[in-house]
Amino acid sequence: MARRAVPLLCVALGAAACSDGSSAGTPTFGGGSGTASTTGGSGGSAEGGSGGAPVGPTELHRIGPTVEIPTIAGAAPKRFADVAYDPAHDVYLVVHGNAATGGAFLDADAQTLGAPFAIADTAAWTQAPRVAFASSGAALVAWHDTREDPNVARVRARIVRWSGAAAELASPDFPVSSTPSYGEMPPGIGYSPTSDLFLVVWHALPGDDLHALRVTPAGQVLGPETALTTDPDWQSDAAVAWNPERDEFLVAYSHAGAGAEIRVQRVAADGALPGGALSVATAGGTWLPQLAYVPATGRYLCAWYDGTIGARWLDPDGASLGAPFALAPGYGAYDGFALARHAGLHTSAAALHGPTDEDFAVGVNDLGTPGSVLEATSEAGADGHFNPRLAAHATRPEWLLATVRAFQAVVVQRLGM
């Protein structure tokens, strides 16, 4: 695992598989391993059994080869790829850094649509982009940007769309943070279809606290930024999930002070903070929390890396349910773990680092039952794959994995069930 000796990176939660976060109206997939049963299963890995959740499949397989996609020339070294799915146009947007921040649209078969394009409108250093789609097909891309000071980053963002024929920069790029940000930790983005707004969360400096700001799909900033944490310790690695019943967000993050924890904080769609921060897990070190909301049970699946991939169920308030459990013993890394839920399959897929230069993946259904670990990328002889990210398709039983090969190229791999 010598390839892990790179700067500490953060992976935040990608776009939800279904724009409203619910299973209502989603397709039933039939045939082979893609069929989702509604009976059987282990009863779940948390207290209280399944809580009425359908038993989704867990076994992933590769669909086709691992494919390099085009990137803008100014992005070097390649780092921090991210991917989101647009159900309004049946396309994926893959974004990438560093130095310059760019993107490329792909169709549902992971074929490139047009040339890659620059997103950040600057020649200054930018890095760590993240992307999420609104129901309308507007994508919010947020990144760290040094145009105001070459030694100090701040978060900026831009609205990007697929016009049906080409990429469209639907807004100027605009400031998100009024204070400096820590560029090694990508921002987290969540989206509320009910309120039709994004929540952007980032590691703010000085103070190592988390700040948040709401943004509309037109690129309008709503209100001043909000401090989610205000203590003297380290808070980072923000991930965001949306609860459709309450129309509120849950933010999970890494906390380091006297010890290391995963904590969560609720954020209402109007920017209010209901309740205080809650602790989910403690360990010698905690990184990369990920969240997925399960509408059938009203629970969140929270997972993280602490030397292995741990997970725990949370109630709608963020309080822990049952004991933590392992998703993929022996896999994961402080810079290599992501999670994306597929609403139609009632299953999440996790992307992981592992014992070889490839990335790996595992399915975990809405009961918390994991499947077999799959070698997800297939590029023999490649010098490592880093910072994997996932997005679920809305109507196909599959995900798209985006990852960085050897800090020189961005590659994608379709994963199915």
Domain range enclosing 182 = 2-416
Q: What's the total number of domains in the chain? A: 1
Residue range 182-226, pLDDT digits in tens: 999 999 999 999 999 999 999 999 999 999 999 999 999 998 999
Query: Which residues 6+ apart lie within 8 Å of 380 measured at CB?
Result: none
- Where residue 174 sits, what CATH number does that domain have? 2.130.10.10
The pLDDT value given to residue 23:
34
Q: Tokens for 350?
A: 């996790």
Residue range 60-107, pLDDT digits in tens: 999 999 999 999 999 999 999 999 999 999 999 999 999 999 999 999
| pLDDT at residue 25 greater than cutoff 50 | no
Query: Which residues 6+ apart lie within 8 Å of 385 measured at CB?
Result: 353, 357, 358, 359, 377, 379, 403, 404, 405, 406, 411
Split at pLDDT 50, 70, 90, the class of 55 is confident
0.85 exceeded by pTM = yes
What average pLDDT does range 354-358 have in this prediction? 93
